[in-house]
Amino acid sequence: MENKRTCLYDKHMALGALISPFGGFDMPIQYTGIVDEHNAVRQACGIFDVSHMGEVLVTGAESEKFVNCIFTNDIAGAPDGKIFYGMMCHPTGGVVDDLLVYKMEAERFFLVINASNIDKDVAWIMEHAKNFDVTVENQSEKYGEVAVQGPKTEEIVERILGLHCSDLAFYTCKEIECEGETIIISRTGYTGEDGFEIYASHAFTNKVWDKLVESGEVKPCGLGCRDTLRFEVGLPLYGDELTDDITPLEAGLGMFAKLDKDFIGRDALAAQKAEGLKRKIVGIELKDKAIPRHGYEVEADGKVIGVVTTGYNSISTGKSVCMAMLDIEYTKLDTEVAVRIRKKVFPGVVTKKRFYDKNYKK
Amino acid sequence: MSTILEGLYYAESHEYVKVEGDFGYIGITDYAQHELGNVVYVDMPDVDDEVTAGEDFGAVESVKAASDLISPVSGTVVEVNEALNDNPELVNSDPYANWIIKVQLSDPSEVEALMNAEAYKAAIGE
């Protein structure tokens, strides 16, 4: 099956981007290089085409009740404009997807899901919506989305795009009437830096891209550095740290699963918490610069005790680090473990899975 | 346009060998370093290790991926480029000056199975 293209595909080709398939789309991996794109976001401002992300609109009298039933975080009584991170879980506690829920207003919720899971998620949401007075609409094709990220983003978005955003607190959003359409802007992102995400029509998304890129102050950034950036601050990627077989608790995301309310998978998570975890995702820092990568085995005491979920030579710190799912008895900080990389075994120690401090504006 | 040096022998897997007497200097081509992007680690064998034509002897790692190094010739490693331990990006800046291993060739006729500069240029479509 041919991959889909986002509304910004022609821009990527014109910029000479390296294109690779991701989540069913042909996406830009890098333009000039992962390292300088990564550094641009840490130090100044970068723009990402994230139009591949899926958007689902839930409306209707029971929309809050319904979303709270399929979502691990608790959105009950939230103010308009509030955004929540959380997961949808199977009854087993495994994760269908991780997502953002935007409370636009009392009976209107905007769900942002992973590109690779759009079909699965929409089917899941539709199936469970049957018993509720809600309308579910897959709006993924309608919206383009860019993420503008980095410490200079707020000033740049206000000055170059003329969009007032400094009033937005972390994890809040608002709708703005702009050139005959309603766009959504939120103070969110996936880099550990301050920044905004803008959801709009394909035409408006192209205008935003052009204005920011042509200013010379905002660097086009590909999915390559999106992954190195999110990894350094310990953010999970569905497919690596989260899967249908990994629970939020095992991924270290228990704070986003509110066990004091009811949702699909809640009982399984409560039972897992009561019994105690058998495995958990932690960080590992290697002594050498060899790079632990997804799927590599982690060893200790002469046996395999886990597997790497994501690993890099951290661009911001220069250290070779990874997140890994380990048997619980090896997850204490400073535990000595080793990662098998090709023919050799490289020693390291268990660390926190945040390798670089977030720089959010809260 | 990639830099391709005359007088070197090239493998389909984008390693080169530069022969000087009984010794061969093995590295990756300019085309390969460009395709890889920022090199952040070079996994090299130890001195006295044996390498075999067509078999891997280490890896070059970019930010995104690890790429096996396939030896274009057989022999014994007599030297590894220690400078790459601290500065792997040298492979990007000049891949021909910054060879990865030096081997004593066990069968110098093996280079006849490799490509010359002209053939390699055609192989990468330049």
In a domain, A312, yes or no: yes
The CATH number of whichever domain residue A61 belongs to comes to 3.30.70.1400
**Quick one: which of B68, B60, B46 has its CA closest to B88?**
B60
Pick from B61, B63, B65: CB nearest A228: B63
All residues at 6 or more sequence positions from A343 whose CB lies less than 8 Å from its CB, including other chains: none
Chain B stretch 14-43, residues whose beta carbon is closer than 8 A to a beta carbon of chain A = 37-38, 40-41, 43
In a domain, A199, yes or no: yes
Q: Mark whether A156 and A47 lie in a shared domain.
A: yes
In a domain, A114, yes or no: yes
Convert the pLDDT of each residue in A70-122 to its tens digit: 999 999 999 999 999 999 999 999 999 999 999 999 999 999 999 999 999 99
Convert the pLDDT of each residue in A58-70 to its tens digit: 999 999 999 999 9
pLDDT at B126: 82
Convert the pLDDT of each residue in A25-53 to its tens digit: 999 999 999 999 999 999 999 999 999 99
Per the listing, tokens 């790497």 go with A308
Q: How far is A103 from chain B (nearest CA, A)?
A: 36
Map out the domains of chain B with their CATH numbers. 9-107 (2.40.50.100)
Does position A1 have pLDDT exceeding 80, yes or no?
Answer: no
Structure tokens at A175: 């709708």
Does position B7 have pLDDT exceeding 90, yes or no?
Answer: yes
Name the residue range of residue A342's domain: 278-351
Amino acid at A245: D
Q: How far is B7 from chain A (nearest CA, A)?
A: 31
Does position A360 have pLDDT exceeding 80, yes or no?
Answer: yes
Q: Mark whether A189 and A45 lie in a shared domain.
A: yes
Convert the pLDDT of each residue in A290-304 to its tens digit: 999 999 999 999 999
Q: Mark whether A210 and A187 lie in a shared domain.
A: yes
Which one of A165, A197, A232 terminates a domain?
A: A232
Does position A361 have pLDDT exceeding 90, yes or no?
Answer: no
**Quick one: which of A341, A230, A245 has its CA closest to A294?**
A341
pLDDT at A343: 84
Cβ-based contacts of A293 with chain B (< 8 Å): 65-66
Q: Partners of A98 in the beta sheet?
A: A87
Q: How many CB atoms lie within 10 A of CB A323?
A: 29
Residue A280's pLDDT band (cuts 50, 70, 90): very high
Pick from B38, B43, B59: CB nearest A35: B38
Number of structural domains found in chain A: 3
Q: Mark whether A46 and A65 lie in a shared domain.
A: no
Pick from B61, B63, B66: CB nearest A224: B63
Q: Mark whether A154 and A42 lie in a shared domain.
A: yes
- DSSP letters of A78-132? PPTTBEEEEEEE-TTS-EEEEEEEEEEETTEEEEEE-GGGHHHHHHHHHHHHTTS
Q: Mark whether A45 and A153 lie in a shared domain.
A: yes
Q: How far is B26 from chain A (nearest CA, A)?
A: 20
The CATH number of whichever domain residue A313 belongs to comes to 2.40.30.110
Which one of A177, A206, A232 terminates a domain?
A: A232
